[in-house]
Structure 1
C-alpha cells in the first residue's frame, strides 16, 4: 500500500482478514480506508476546535474585564484597557482560523467522495441482484450482504462528517464574532479617546474666549481713561513752561 504507514497497513490487513469472502467486494478496501481516515479527521478536528474555542473564551474574558460597567463619564480607572491586544498572538489566531476553514473544506470534499461511494454501492447492488438470479453459488449473495453493510457504514461516516462540519462552522463563526467584538472594543476605546480630546479642546476654546473677553475689557478701559490721563498730564506740564 503505497503512501501508507506500517501501522495503517497492519490495520488494513487485519480488517481484510476478518472479511472472509467479502474481501472480494470492490468497495471493501475503500471503505476500510475511509473508516481509518475518519478516525484521523475526527482527532484533527477535535484538536483545532479545542484550540479555537479556548481562543474565543479568552477573547470574551478580556472583553468582559476591559469593558467599563458605569455608563456615566469615564474616569481614569474605568477606561477600557486595550493592552491585551497582541499582534503576534492575533496573527496566530488568524492562521488557526484559516487552517480551520481549510479543514472544513477538506471535510466537505471528503464527504462528497463518500457520497459517490454510496452511489456506486447502489449500482453494485443492482449488479449483484442480477447475479443472484443467474448464479447458483452464494458468492453473489455474500457480495450483496457486504454491500448492505458497507452502505450502512458509509452513511454513518457521512453523518459523523456532517456533525464535524457543523462543529467547524460553529467555531469559525464564534471566532469571527469574538474578533469583531474585540475590534469593536478597540473602536470604543478610540471613540472615548476622541471624546476626551474634544472635551479638552472645548475647555481650551472656553478659556481662549474668556481671555478674549478680558482683553476687550482692558482695551475698553484703556480707550476711556488714556485720553483723560494724557490731557491731565499735559495740563500739569504746561504751567511749568
Structure 2
C-alpha cells in the first residue's frame, strides 16, 4: 500500500512533475524554547544564502534544541520580500508595512477579507476560480528546494497532498526520519491542503520530532497578508514552548481558511438570496425577451449549483477539522499519561528523600520495604495517581488544582504541551461548530431556492388555471351563441341554393340534381374526418407502439 514510509524524501519525479519554480526571496521564521525573544525572521533568496543559513542557523534534531522553524513559501505572482538578516517579527512587519489589525465586524453587505483576499464575484461562479496551481509554484530554484527539503526533513507525502487540488486534506503519520549522520529518530509528519476551488488556497507540511520538541514546517501559497497574519499570531505573546507544538501551524492555517470561507459563504448566500427574491417577480416577466429570460434562468441555476458546491466543500473541510481535533486530543492524552507518570515519580522521589532524612527510620527500614508493605504507608502517591487518572478519564485536565502539597511546581514542558493541546482542540472544535452553522445556512438557502421555485411555479399554475377558467367561460358563451344561430344559418344557406326553385310553375321545387350536393358534402366530410383521424390518432399510436417495442 502507498502509506507513509520511513526516511522517504521528495523524489526527482516529484520535484519535476508536481512543483514549479519561480525563485524569489522567502521568509524563514524561527522560535526556539531557549529564548523568550520574538520570532526571528530571515529573508533568503540565493542558494548560497540558504546554504549559509542551513549550516549556521538551522537547528539539528540531535536533541540539543527545540522549538519551531517555519518557511513561508510565497505564492506565485507575489512580489519578493526585502532581504533582511535576522530581525524580530515586529521589525519585519514594520519593514513590509503590515500593521496589526483588530477584529473587524463582518457585514453581510461587505465581503472584503481582513487578510486582503480576493472577493468572490458571484457572477463568475465558484468554479471560475478552479484549476489554479499557486500552491505548486515555489519561490525557490529546484536545487534550493532540494536543500530545503533535506534540511527540513520534508516527507514525500506532501507531493500527493498538493496534487489533490480541490480536495481538502489533513493527514498525520508516525515514521522514522534520519539526520545527516544516518541516525534514525521518531517523527510525526503532518500534511494539510485546502481546496483550490476558490482562490488563495494553502498547503502545509511539517515534521515534528517528539524526542526534542522540534518542528520543521513549510506553508505553501502565502501572500504578503498571510505572512503578516502568521507573524502577528506567532509574535502576539506566544511562548516558544507553545510555538513548538506540532499542531500550532495547522491551527493557524485553520484560522486563515476560516477567514476565507466566511467571506465566500456570505457572498454566495447574498447572491443566491438575490435570485430567490427575483423568483417572486417571475410571473410579471411575460413581456421580457426570451434571451433575457434564459439568461436569468441560467444565473439562478448557477447560483443554486454554486451554493450546493460550496456546502459540499465546507462539509469536506469540516471532516478534516474533526480529524485535527481528534489528533490533538489523542496527542494530548499520550502526553498527559507521561505527565501523570512524571508527577508520580517526582512525588515518590520527594517522599523517599523525606523518609530517608528521618532519623528514626534510618537503618531500621528500607523505603522499598515500606512501599511494598501496605498502600497506607504512602497514601498520598496512590491517591494522587488515582485522582490524576480519573481526571484524565473524565476530561478534567486542570490537575494543577489538585496538588495540595506545598512548594511543589509541576509546570513541566510536558504539562505545557498538554495545555497547548487542549487549547488547540477546543479552538478547532469551536470552529467546527461555526462551520456546522455555515453549512446549515447554505442548506437553508438551497432548500429556500427549491421552495421559492415551487411557489413561483405554483403561482404560475394558479394564474394559468384562472385564465383557463375565464377562457372556458367565454367559450361556453360562444358555444351558446353558435348553437342559437347555427340551425338558422344552415337552413338559410341550404334554401338559398339554386337547387330550390320556389316559383316553379310545374310544381318541381327541388332540382333533380340535388343528390350531387349530398354526395359531395358527405364525401368531403368523410375525407376531412379521415385525415384528422390519421394524423391525430392513428399515426401517434403507431409511433407509441414502435417506441415501446424498441
Matches of residues 45-194 of structure 1 in structure 2 within 5 Å? 45-60=265-280, 62=281, 82-83=286-287, 86-135=293-342, 138-194=412-468
State how far apart, in whole Å, the 2-side matches of 1:10 and 1:200 are: 75
Q: TM-score w.r.t. structure 2 length?
A: 0.35
| In structure 2, distance between residues paired with 1:24 and 1:228 | 122
Alpha-carbon contact 2:329-2:422 (below 8 Å) kept: no
Q: Deviations over 1:99-126 (max 9, x none)?
A: 0111111111111111111111121122
Structure 2 counterpart SS, 1:3:
strand
Change (3 A) 1:100 1:216: closer
Q: Residue 223 of structure 2 corresponds to which residue in structure 1?
A: 5
Q: Sort the Cα spacing of 1:5 and 1:221 in 2 relative to 1 into closer, same or farther, 3 A.
A: closer
Counterpart for residue 19 of structure 1? 238
Q: Alpha carbons of 1:94 and 1:81: their partners in 2 closer, same or farther (altered >3 Å)?
A: closer
Find the residue that maps to 2:243 and give its secondary structure.
helix
| Gap regions ≥5 residues in structure 2 | 1-218, 347-410, 508-550
Residue by residue over 1:151-202, the C-alpha shift from the partner in whole angstroms, topping out at 9 and shown as x without a partner, is: 1111110111111111111111111111222223333344345445544544
CA distance in 2, matches of 1:150, 1:219: 98
**Worse overlay, 129-138 or 51-60:** 129-138
Aligned equivalents of 1:211 and 1:88: distance in 2?
50
Provide the rounded CA distance (Å) in 2 between the counterparts of 1:29 and 1:81.
53
Residue among 37, 42, 46 paired with 2:262: 42
**TM-score, normalising length: structure 1:** 0.76
Q: For the structure 1 residues 114 and 220, does the alpha-carbon distance in structure 2 shift closer, same or farther, using more than 3 Å as the test?
A: closer
SS in 2 for 1:2: strand
Structure number with higher helix proportion: 1
User: Does the CA-based 8 Å contact 1:82-1:186 persist in structure 2?
Assistant: no
Label 1:32 to 1:193 Cα distance change in 2 as closer, same or farther (>3 A). Answer: same
Q: Distance in 2 between matches of 1:220 and 1:37?
A: 89
Query: C-alpha separation between the residues in 2 aligned to 1:228 and 1:115?
Result: 104
| C-alpha distance after superposition, 1:46-88 (max 9, x if no partner) | 111122223323333x26xx6xxxxxxxxxxxxx763468221
**Aligned counterparts of 1:2 and 1:204: Cα–Cα separation in 2:** 78
CA contact (8 A) 2:275 2:303 kept: no
Once superposed, what is the RMSD of the aligned Cα atoms? Answer: 2.9
**Count of aligned residue pairs for this structure pair:** 214
**Greater RCO, 1 or 2 (C-alpha within 8 Å, sep 6+):** 1
Q: What's 1:69 paired with? A: none
Q: 1:133 to 1:218 in 2, by over 3 A?
A: closer
* Structure 1 residues 228 and 98: CA distance shift in structure 2, 3 A: closer
- Aligned to 1:180, what secondary structure does the other structure show? helix
Distance 2:285 2:302 in 1: 25
Residue 41 of structure 1 deviates from its aligned partner by 0.8
Judged with a 3 Å threshold, the aligned counterparts in structure 2 of structure 1 residues 8 and 220 are, in CA distance, closer, same or farther, namely: closer
The answer to whether the 8 Å contact 1:121/1:151 transfers is yes
